[in-house]
Amino acid sequence: MRISVADDGRTVIFRLSPLQAPLAFKSKLEVPVEAITSAEAVPRSDVPFGPIIRAPGTFIPGLVRFGSYGRKPNRHFWAVVRHDPVLVVDLDDWDYQRLVIGVDDAAQAAGSIQVAMI
């Protein structure tokens, strides 16, 4: 399973695979670059679990965490299946405060987003 990160210059698009989308109740997120405050690859164990209220989403301990957690202003979106490290994107003035995304190469994805932020 993969999540692709694309950059059209003004928006970073996170697309979930057809298998992941039902778990997260979303097929993609389109985030304006100006809403992104940071993007980095972080060991999964170093990412705080965050809000526990899941609405909507899927959580199987130790295996998957997909969907929306918490309420504004502390709302997070997770799309992770045993990935390590994960891509952590912090946001300001957007639907979510943080995105935690499992991608094959989190460092490369973070670098692509950081370049888009310049």
Q: Once rounded to an integer, what is the mean pLDDT over residues 65-79?
A: 90
Among residues 80, 99, 103, the alpha carbon closest in space to that of 36 is found at 99
What would the mean pLDDT of 87-112 be, rounded to a whole number? 93
- Residue 2, pLDDT > 60, answer no
**CA-to-CA separations, 19 to 3, 26, 79, in angstroms, rounded:** 11, 11, 12
Average pLDDT, the chain: 88
29-53 residue pLDDT tens: 999 999 999 999 999 889 987 777 7
Query: Residue range 77-87: average pLDDT?
Result: 92
DSSP string, the chain: --EEEEE-SSEEEEEE-TTTHHHHT-SEEEEEGGGEEEEEEE-GGGS------EEEEEEETTTEEEEEES-TTS-EEEEEES-SSEEEEEESSSS-SEEEE--S-HHHHHHHHHHHH-
**Residue 1: what pLDDT?**
42
Structure confidence by residue, pLDDT tens digits, 54-70:
788 888 888 899 999 98
What's the rounded mean pLDDT across residues 82-110? Answer: 93
3 or 22: which leads in pLDDT: 22
Gyration radius (Cα) of the chain, Å: 13
